[in-house]
Amino acid sequence: MKKPVLLFLFLFAFLTIFCQESVPEWLSKSSRELRYPNEIYFTGFVFNFVEQDKSLQQYIENVKTEAQAELVKQIRLKIEAKTQSKIFSQNANGNYSESEIFLSEATTTADAEIVGIKTETHYDKTENKIYAFAYANKYEIMGYYKSNLSMNLNQIESFVKTAKDLENNGEKAKARQQLEMAKPLFSKTRSAQEMLVTLDGNATPDDLQQSKTELLYNTVTQLQAKLAQGVYVYVESNENLFGQKVDIVANKVKAELAINGCSFVNNANDADLLLNINVSTRISSQENSIVFCYADTTVELYDNHKQKMVYSDEIAQKGGANTQDKAGRQAMNDVAKKVVEKLKNWIQ
């Protein structure tokens, strides 16, 4: 008789322990506060009754999402409290814009980039309830933002280096593109810094890499201002319209290239590019009262930085009019359009 009794007691104890372990400790508020203190964790706890309108799995996914949203809400409230404090501190100067911009950026970041969220669920059959508990370690989140901050600054640094290399090679348009790609990263950098300040009140300027951020920002701003001046071109032309010296092609080419950001200098040593244009006209034929002429043109583009010829071409353009002079001018105007289209691929 003793053996069956002992076996029953053993099974009872095992089942009791098993049942107890199947009920998570985090269901209890006191247990949650003890194991996941506010000083270390952000948490979210929700529950919902199961009804017939959805599957059990759908209810589980819903409560998981709600618990995670509750967690993110705690972070948003912390950010907003921090930002409101900052706004009030700036009230004397009437400067609200920076903080308001940050509030929009940082709360969006909180929604999108909170990492390390763990979510657990429990279904209570007796009450027909589903519980969900989400939690995230503040120090893991801070670690993510420190890494994110370094990554963004390294990317900016890379864009700046590439932009400087392109500028030295005379490729100013491409250099400007690199700086444009760097600019949005400053917004992400600022959001990461503000998140770190929000999460860690003891964050130092070194933790936030403020000196490096300011140096890169100033470098990008100064380099953009420098590149905004465009490409410097020195133009030398020799245009012969049936013995008459003109600058028809050169003037038209300059006007079109200026629209594309080029500036023109009088000293070849100050130029990024040297453009040489030679044009001569010749009569082709005459039909009734129309004279046809050709503008025979040679174009050479020399890169001062690369110290080499980067483009050369010969173009013969036909033009017609009721006089030789007008036909020659028409051919010159038309050849100028072709020269501009070809140069656009090389002058940046």
List pLDDT tens digits, range 225-235. 888 777 889 99
**Total domains present in the chain:** 3
Q: How confident is the model at residue 3 (pLDDT cuts 50, 70, 90)?
A: low
Kindly tell me if the per-residue pLDDT of 94 is higher than 70. Answer: no
Kindly tell me if the per-residue pLDDT of 26 is higher than 90. Answer: yes
The H-or-E segment that residue 98 falls in is: helix 97-112
pTM above 0.75, yes or no: no
**Side chain identity at residue 89, one-letter code:** S
CATH number at residue 243: 3.30.160.150
Q: At what angle do helices 172-199 and 56-89 cross, to 10 degrees?
A: 90
Whether residue 250 is found in the same domain as residue 339: yes
Whether residue 123 is found in the same domain as residue 158: no
Instruction: Of 2-6, 217-221, 230-234, give the range with the top mean pLDDT.
Output: 217-221
**What confidence score (pLDDT) does residue 92 get?**
46
Q: Domain for residue 15, yes or no?
A: no
CATH number at residue 120: 3.10.129.140
Whether residue 107 is found in the same domain as residue 203: no
Whether residue 98 is found in the same domain as residue 40: yes
DSSP H helical segments within the chain, as ranges? 2-22, 29-35, 56-89, 97-112, 138-168, 172-199, 205-208, 210-227, 248-259, 324-343
Q: How confident is the model at residue 2 (pLDDT cuts 50, 70, 90)?
A: low
Which residues are CB-neighbours of 38 under 8 A, at least 6 positions away? none
- Tokens 């028409």 — which residue? 330
Asked whether 200 and 39 are in contact (CB, 8 A), the reply is no
Whether residue 292 is found in the same domain as residue 236: yes
Q: Domain for residue 13, yes or no?
A: no
Whether residue 245 is found in the same domain as residue 326: yes
Asked whether 36 and 138 are in contact (CB, 8 A), the reply is no
- 129-137: strand order across its sheet: 41-49, 129-137, 118-124
Q: Across residues 210-215, what is the average pLDDT?
A: 92
Q: How confident is the model at residue 33 (pLDDT cuts 50, 70, 90)?
A: very high
Range with lowest mean pLDDT among 78-82, 179-183, 310-314, 343-347: 78-82
Token reading at 227: 């590149």
Whether residue 277 is found in the same domain as residue 243: yes
Q: How far apart are CA 233 and CA 301, in angstroms?
A: 10
**Domain-terminating residue out of 121, 138, 155:** 138
**Side chain identity at residue 149, one-letter code:** L
Q: Domain for residue 117, yes or no?
A: yes
Q: Domain for residue 308, yes or no?
A: yes
Token reading at 69: 């949203």
Q: How far apart are CA 129 and CA 139, in angstroms?
A: 32
Higher pLDDT, 229 or 266: 266
Give the model confidence (pLDDT) of 286-341 as tens digits: 888 899 999 999 999 998 878 899 999 999 999 999 999 999 999 999 999 999 99
Q: Domain for residue 153, yes or no?
A: yes
Q: Which of the 8 DSSP states describes residue 331?
A: H
Whether residue 280 is found in the same domain as residue 253: yes
Q: Across residues 148-165, what is the average pLDDT?
A: 95
Question: What is the end-to-end Cα distance of the chain in Å, rounded?
Answer: 99
**Domain-terminating residue out of 175, 210, 227:** 227
Higher pLDDT, 177 or 81: 177
Q: Domain for residue 147, yes or no?
A: yes
| Closest residue by Cα to residue 203 from 211, 193, 213 | 193
Kindly tell me if the per-residue pLDDT of 107 is higher than 70. Answer: no
**What confidence score (pLDDT) does residue 174 get?**
80
**Domain-terminating residue out of 203, 227, 251:** 227
Whether residue 214 is found in the same domain as residue 269: no
Give the model confidence (pLDDT) of 189-207 as tens digits: 988 888 888 888 788 889 8
Computed over every residue of the chain, the mean pLDDT equals: 84
Q: Domain for residue 79, yes or no?
A: yes
Q: How far apart are CA 144 and CA 150, in angstroms?
A: 10
Distances, alpha carbon 107 to alpha carbons 73, 192, 198, in Å: 9, 11, 12
Asked whether 87 and 104 are in contact (CB, 8 A), the reply is no
Instruction: Of 90-104, 110-124, 239-253, give the range with the top mean pLDDT.
Output: 239-253
**What confidence score (pLDDT) does residue 242 get?**
94
Whether residue 236 is found in the same domain as residue 332: yes
Whether residue 202 is found in the same domain as residue 237: no
Total number of residues shown for the chain: 348
Which residues span the domain enclosing 256?
Answer: 231-343
Whether residue 193 is found in the same domain as residue 283: no
Asked whether 89 and 116 are in contact (CB, 8 A), the reply is no
Q: Domain for residue 270, yes or no?
A: yes
Q: Across residues 77-81, what is the average pLDDT?
A: 75
